[in-house]
Amino acid sequence: SVFDNPNAASLSVAHRIANLIKKKQEQNEMAVLGLATGATPIAVYAELVRLHKEEGLSFKNVITFNLDEYYPMLPTAAQSYVTFMNENLFDHIDIDRKNVNIPDGTLSLEEIPAFCLEYEKKIGQLGGLDIQILGIGRTGHIGFNEPGSAPNSGTRLVTLDDLTRRDAARDFGGKSFVPTKAITMGIGTIFKAREIILMAWNRKKASIIKKAVEGEISSEVPATYLQLSDNVEFILDKEAASDL
């Protein structure tokens, strides 16, 4: 769907998430959410916080799995995705912290494979992700699945693309300070979600959105794999959709 502006689009995504949470509450079940970072979902999180504060939406029955984290990365660092999620969402809602899962940027290299398997296993044991929200990087990455990622890839350590590190340079005070690696859910992990919502706003995402939606399916643009799933919806503003 194409919305007039990012705010209208964000509200619609937030309300879908809120409706899922409420439906699960009625059924006495947990809602299992796959969450994303970056500028794109900020207004979605802001609306969820507003629904909590002003309309009493509870997150007690919510379990979250974030897509990715830089590696190495201390959770307390200003640029960590832990900090991002705390500031934009978790510090302002009533979620139980033990239900929050974010890849751990403090592990040793040897510990990463077991951690990644456990991340997948945890999602599986909960019955899978109900909704996964996604942004898109200018390399066509989803999560941090950079060009070259396999369609059946799982949670793993990856090397960041140079363009991704350049785009992150502002947050880190220079590209040389951006970690070269990250831990990310895989394309295969994302694909198992019952509902996938990819959001993109602004003119600068128009060309990668055109490739993702209309381009040949290829590991060169990992977001093109989404064309293979029936559970994917692209939520765009007019500008991001302007090349379609």
The answer to whether residues 236 and 198 touch, using CB atoms and an 8 Å cutoff, is: no
Q: Per CB under 6 A, does 226 bind ligand GLP?
A: no
Q: Per CB under 6 A, does 237 bind ligand GLP?
A: no
Polymer length of the chain: 244
Q: Exactly one of 3, 21, 35, 40 binds ligand GLP (CB under 6 A); which one?
A: 40
Q: Exactly one of 6, 34, 103, 137 binds ligand GLP (CB under 6 A); which one?
A: 137
Q: Per CB under 6 A, does 147 bind ligand GLP?
A: no
Q: Per CB under 6 A, does 34 bind ligand GLP?
A: no
Q: Least separation, in Å, of the C-beta of 32 and ligand GLP?
A: 18
Tokens (6 digits) for 45: 């999180």
Rounded Cα gap, residues 242 and 244, in angstroms: 6
Size of the site for ligand GLP (CB under 6 A): 13
216 is catalytic: no
Q: Which of 29, 87, 93 lies closest to 55 in space, CA to CA? A: 93
Q: Which of 6, 2, 83 lies closest to 47 in space, CA to CA? A: 6
Q: Exactly one of 5, 8, 23, 39 binds ligand GLP (CB under 6 A); which one?
A: 39
Q: Exactly one of 9, 35, 67, 187 binds ligand GLP (CB under 6 A); which one?
A: 67
Q: Per CB under 6 A, does 213 bind ligand GLP?
A: no
Q: Per CB under 6 A, does 189 bind ligand GLP?
A: no
The span of 71-79, 136-144, 186-194, 214-222 binding ligand GLP (CB under 6 A) equals: 136-144
DSSP 99: G
Catalytic residue among 69, 120, 146, 239: 146
The span of 20-28, 97-105, 131-139, 221-229 binding ligand GLP (CB under 6 A) equals: 131-139
Which element (helix H / strand E) includes 44? helix 42-55
Task: Give residues with Cβ within 8 angstroms of 9, minimum separation 6.
Answer: 1, 3, 199, 201, 235, 236, 237
Cα–chain center distance at 164: 15
Q: Tell me the sheet residues that pair with 158.
A: 182
Site string for ligand GLP, 163-182 (x = CB under 6 A): -x------------------
The residue ranges of DSSP E strands in 5-130, in sequence order, are 31-35, 62-66, 68-71, 100-101
Q: Per CB under 6 A, does 136 bind ligand GLP?
A: yes
Task: Give residues with Cβ within 8 angstroms of 58, minimum separation 6.
Answer: 21, 25, 52, 94
Catalytic site residues? 146
**Interface residues toward ligand GLP, by CB under 6 A:** 36-40, 67-68, 135-137, 143-144, 164
